[in-house]
Amino acid sequence: MVRSASRTILLVTLVAVVLCGAAAGLGAHRYFHKNKQNPVVRVDEYVTMGWVAWDSSWYMRIAQEGYEFTPGQQSSVAFFPLYPLVIRAVQTLGPDVYQSGVLITLLCGPLALLLFTQWARGLTDEATALRAGLLMACYPFAFYFYGAMYSDALFVLLVITAFLLLERGHLLPAVLVAAVATAARPVAPAVVVGLLVRRLEWKHARGEKWTAVDFLPVLAGLGFGGYMLFLWHKFGDPFAFVKVQGAAGWDQQPGWHSWLKVSWFERVILHPTDKREAFRLAAHAFFTLLALALVWPTRKLLGWGYAVYVLAIVGLPAWSTKDFMGMGRYLLSSFPVFLTAAMLLRQRPRLLRGALTVGAISVVVLSWAFGADYYIS
């Protein structure tokens, strides 16, 4: 008898939240005690502060102070507005800015995994949907679903919801949810094209003719467009979020140096002066190439819509990054590859168990490292 995929994933997710939260809290304890100049933190604050690091401070500033843009310098306009807006809304209920950010992730991450499993169950059998859910829950960078004050859990939840609604024939609600999602991350083309191609494919599979209504997914980019209009109105530059990527410290200037990954080859292969950094960058590149390798199997198993979506959601940031840093986290958005992997591993139980074991250990270790303020993604 096959276990209920949704119930099992819910249980696994709750266990992951507890284990990863404890690991992040222990990491935070180490961070705050290794340097006597760090502020004193109460025992009950360690879990929250364990999930607050790196880009979390940008979201905090946006939520509390709004946006700022200084050409040539790192500026908050690089971060899309949906997540800080939700943080600000949750703050009105009482939690402080950090607690609000963590609570949003704690709600959205597990819910995203649950809805992902339901989406997978609509395209395959219960057992395969369960395997897909486990692969996603145990993906090493899934700790961004379990508490980290980042926008990924919110974005992935909205995108999965949009595709789940689309699969159930609810086109307009799917487009509306997707439009909200594109206000969270700068990947609107992937969401728009993925929804559009999948909708047309969905109609064709049912022997129905396309109509003008079927092209509504083009409106999914309204969230993205709304942010550009805001930047144009406030700073006179709708592309400010792109231009700040080249600021000192981020150094993500568009051009051949980034497109050919010159920095990655120098730091990983040609002149690896820091072994830990080289390993980290190599891991991000590995997962990126693995996701891209699954595009064609996704086309065969799930259709053109999901293949195009994965190609765009992975390809756009992979093309623009200079060294693949951050790609491990971004790949959470390429949710169809986890179902594709589960379908490919149906007859390879040992490989599946190995991947789940390594992933489960890794997600806890990375939670500790994130809490200890190591640069993970």
Asked whether 190 and 197 are in contact (CB, 8 A), the reply is no
Amino acid at 208: E
In this predicted structure, what is the pLDDT of residue 310?
98
Which pLDDT score, from 0 to 100, does residue 1 have?
40
pTM of the model: 0.95
> Contact at 8 Å (CB) between 240 and 69?
yes
User: Of the candidates 149, 124, 150, which has an alpha carbon nearest to the alpha carbon of residue 135?
Assistant: 124
CA–CA distance from 377 to each of 33, 54, 134, 180 (Å)? 23, 9, 22, 24
Give the up-direction half-sphere exposure of residue 215: CA atoms within 13 A in the CB hemisphere: 3
φ/ψ of residue 337, rounded to 5: -65, -25
- Alpha-carbon gap, residue 240 to 252, rounded angstroms: 14
Distance between CA 6 and CA 130 in Å, rounded?
Answer: 7
pLDDT value of residue 4: 86
pLDDT (tens digit, 9 = 90+) per residue, 341-371? 999 999 999 999 999 999 999 999 999 999 9
The angle at the Cα of 58, spanning 57 to 64, to the nearest 5 degrees, equals 90
**Whose CA is closest to 69, among 253, 244, 245?**
244
Of residues 251, 244, 259, 257, the one with CA closest to residue 318:
259
Domain ranges of the chain: 5-371
**HEC profile for the chain?**
CCCCHHHHHHHHHHHHHHHHHHHHHHHHHHHHHHCCCCCCCCHHHHHHHHCCCCCHHHHHHHHHHCCCCCCCCCCHHHCCCHHHHHHHHHHCCCCCHHHHHHHHHHHHHHHHHHHHHHHHHCCCCHHHHHHHHHHHHCCHHHHHHCCCCCCHHHHHHHHHHHHHHHHCCCHHHHHHHHHHHCCCCCCHHHHHHHHHHHHHHHHHHCCCCCCHHHHHHHHHHHHHHHHHHHHHHHHCCCCHHHHHHHCCCCCCCCCHHHHCCHHHHHHHHHCCCCHHHHHHHHHHHHHHHHHHHCHHHHHHHHCHHHHHHHHHHHHHHHHHCCCCCCHHHHHHHCCHHHHHHHHHCCCCHHHHHHHHHHHHHHHHHHHHHHHCCCCCC
- Residue 366 carries which side chain, given as an amino acid letter? L
% of the chain residues with pLDDT over 90? 83
* 44 and 50 Cβ atoms separated by less than 8 Å: no
Identify the CA nearest to 330 among candidates 339, 344, 340, 320: 320
Q: In the chain, which residues have pLDDT < 70?
A: 1-3, 36, 38, 40, 43
